[in-house]
Amino acid sequence: MRLSNVDPALESCWQVVCRSNDLTSQPTAYALLGRHWVLWRTPSGTVAAFLDQCPHRLAPLSRGTCDHAGIIQCGYHGWRFDITGICVEIPALGPDAHLPGRAQLTAPHGVAESHGLVFLAIRPPSTPLPTVAVASDPTFQRGDLPVVTTSGAAGLFADNFLDVAHFPFVHAATFGAGEERTVPSYTLERDGYCFTASYEHLFANREDPGVDAGLRPLMQRRALTYRYTAPFHMELEITYLDAGGTNVIGFFIAPADADTVRVYSTLWRNDLGGSLEAMEQAVAFEVAVLDEDLAVQCSYRERSLPLDLTMELHTKADRTTVELRRILRDLIDGR
């Protein structure tokens, strides 16, 4: 059994579809789970989201326009739909026409915003809406990586983000060269369709000016905490126990269609003293790290994640990624 980007079980989950600040008062189309959706921001600030298909001749509504009240007009024959998706005008029938009740847009079950992202649940979700605690903490600066659209499997991308044994090999050119190869034993706690895994280890902190100043040793303690929310939402919190400061990397994957994903990645840091330039550098470094991971992910010929644990070989260093497979399997089996 393998998980593809368009498995029907993924419709019963919150899925990231775009960033909050990508939306304007005019319609934009986004692919998600093999279908196209049209989204726009209404005058009251809420998000309108519907299947990108006019009920008349099935033209993409995203070619249309929205007026000052947020009413969308199809670009083909001018039918107009209010923000609840009800048709309010069919120009070809004149002003007093009786409008057919079936002239309605198809809405997903739910639309929500969390930590700067917009989520859709196409059917009633069995997974919780992901949240990032530091996103609302004013002591943290935020830096968004450019959105990456690439071929690949969302399950494999999630697997890679949660993997703790690849740093010295895949990331040798960025941060991995000085990393310990041995993965320390770590704790993992599952809670429904989520888990948290944590460990502490020593690493060479070459960026700490306190090392040259003789205040701290080169080898310092670092605590890593991974938080996972099914199906494809991940967060890694790194706390520098000696030098101080916390970095959070958020990684949210939208399965666009059977072969394509969009990757939304964001940094939150409390150790840059408010410097925009330092955040720009941090984002550029993270982009280089992500490129190293993408090169591995895009090389997979099979664009799906194995969920049958006998298909691969697992070790105790792979507990996070084994738990990912168990949770996704439970999700598909409706457990």
76 binds, among Fe ion, ligand FES, none (CB under 5 to 8 A by kind): ligand FES
Query: Binding mask 58-77 vs Fe ion (x if CB under 5 A, - otherwise)?
Result: --------------------
Query: Applying CB under 6 A, does 59 fall inside the site for ligand FES?
Result: yes
Within 78-107, the residues that bind ligand FES by CB under 6 A are: 79
Least Å from the CB of residue 76 to ligand FES: 4
Q: Which stretch binds ligand FES (CB under 6 A): 69-77, 94-102, 266-274, 317-325?
A: 69-77
Q: Which of 197-220 are b and which e, b meaning 16 or more Cβ less than 10 Å from the residue's Cβ?
A: bebebebebeebeebeeeebeeeb
Closest CA to 54 of 84, 76, 23: 76
CB of residue 257 vs ligand FES: minimum separation in angstroms?
Answer: 23
Q: Does 74 contact ligand FES by CB under 6 A?
A: yes
Q: Which of 237, 293, 318, 323 binds Fe ion (CB under 5 A)?
A: 293
Q: Are 233 and 125 in contact (CB under 8 A)?
A: no
The amino acid present at 307, given as its one-letter code, is L
Compute the distance between CA of residue 295 and CA of residue 171 in angstroms, rounded to an integer.
Answer: 11
Task: Classify burial at 157, counting beta carbons within 10 Å of its beta carbon; exposed 0-12, middle 13-18, buried 19 or more.
Answer: buried
Out of 21, 24, 29, 57, which residue is the one contacting ligand FES (CB under 6 A)?
A: 57
- Position among 35, 56, 123, 201 found at the interface with ligand FES (CB under 6 A): 56
Q: List, in order, residues 6 or more apart from 61 with CB less than 8 Å away.
A: 27, 38, 50, 52, 53, 54, 72, 74, 75, 81, 105
- For residue 186, state whether it binds ligand FES (rule: CB under 6 A): no
Contact footprint for ligand FES (CB under 6 A) = 54, 56-57, 59, 74, 76-77, 79
